[in-house]
Structure 1
Amino acid sequence: MGDILPIVQLGNHILRQKAARVENIQDEKIQKIIDDLIATVVKANGVGIAAPQVAQSYRVMIVASRPNPRYPDAPEMQPTAMINPKIITHSTAVVKGWEGCLSIPGIRGLVPRYEAVEVEYTDRNGKLQKQLLNGFIARIFQHEYDHLDGIVFLDRLESNRDIVTEQEYQKLIVNNI
């Protein structure tokens, strides 16, 4: 099992940098980063995390959807390491959905994202993978992919009126008050 790492917060310069391509996936450092990212995202009740969020400027991200207090309706999947990911194609349909970010605690935003994306990435064993992702999983992928390019979800908002606090999100959206 990996170590739980501190998550850098908005304002840290690494969140605004383009992350470096991974050249040697089998490098012990890269494999350790993957284990640490998985441990960190699980502990933080996240559904995804990217290496820049733990101050590692590499094109590595984890998609780890599962129901938790932050995302009670999230679909269940095994944490998946995606190295040097790419979006190959995407749907024309764009859907707005609520997102939060471990690097921007206490805030949620209504973010427009492609409903479906076809992606390509290398898995932790060095095998090239191609997948069609839909709905919430596609949203997680796009959110984490943005982190690899120095973009945070606030950059994608259409209006500042699409921002709420976590407390209001829990009341209005999760508890339907």
Structure 2
Amino acid sequence: MIYPITAYGDPVLKEEAEDIPKDYPDLKELIEDMYSTMYFAHGVGLAAPQISKSIRLFVIDSEPMMDDKDKGKGVKKAFINPEIIEEDGEEWGFEEGCLSIPGVREVVYRPERIVIRYFDEEWNEHEDTYDGMNARVIQHEYDHIEGILFTDHLNGLKKRLIKNRLAKISKGDVDADYKMKFPALSKRR
């Protein structure tokens, strides 16, 4: 199943998501649907709040973000109830975008290394270290389950410069080649 992507302005994108219980219904199917939705929208990550589910779950496939020297080093994985327990290294800038904010891309600075604790689809606990692009993709998706968008990392001037574009997105005035759910349109019905 392909879910519509929840657009900027929906309150679910600003909420801290809830932990998932082990008996969460149809979790494996949800994870597969999230991968399908992510690939359909040409994304490299998708967090549950982006499909209007306020739970601590995201999926990534960072391989398309790898440059030539790192081909084959991408990560395809689901993260259940993750917790970033350490971030370190030099902060580096990279232009990020978001499926919930189509057409907006800005440079975001993030630490180069993270340590993250999470459960996999079989409820096995892991504590892994990631760096570079893999760390960036994970940090971006992790922010979603914390109620943080990449635009929240921008300085005041940058935020003012994109304010009108963000308002248009929330009203459905945007071109995206995937189905979206717009908060302003939902309220009118």
Ranges in structure 1 where 5+ consecutive residues have no aligned partner = 166-177
Match of 1:19 in 2: 17
Whether the 8 Å contact between 2:66 and 2:133 is mirrored in structure 1 is: no
Fraction of identical pairs, as percent: 35
CA RMSD of aligned residues (A): 2.2
CA drift of 1:92 comes to: 3.7
1:107 partner SS: coil
Q: TM-score, normalised by structure 2?
A: 0.77
Cα distance change, pair 75–22 in 1 and its aligned pair in 2 (3 A):
farther
Q: Aligned partner of 2:43: which letter?
A: G
1:129 and 1:11 map into 2 onto residues whose CA distance is: 33
Cα distance change, pair 96–39 in 1 and its aligned pair in 2 (3 A):
same
Match of 2:85 in 1: 88
Correspondences of 1:1-177 after superposition (within 5 Å): 3-24=1-22, 27-67=24-64, 71=65, 73=67, 75-76=71-72, 77=74, 79-158=76-155, 160-161=157-158
Structure with larger Rg: 2
CA drift of 1:35 comes to: 1.1
Higher relative contact order (CA 8 A, sep 6+): 2
Aligned length: 159
2:129 and 2:21 map into 1 onto residues whose CA distance is: 25
Q: Aligned partner of 2:17: which letter?
A: A
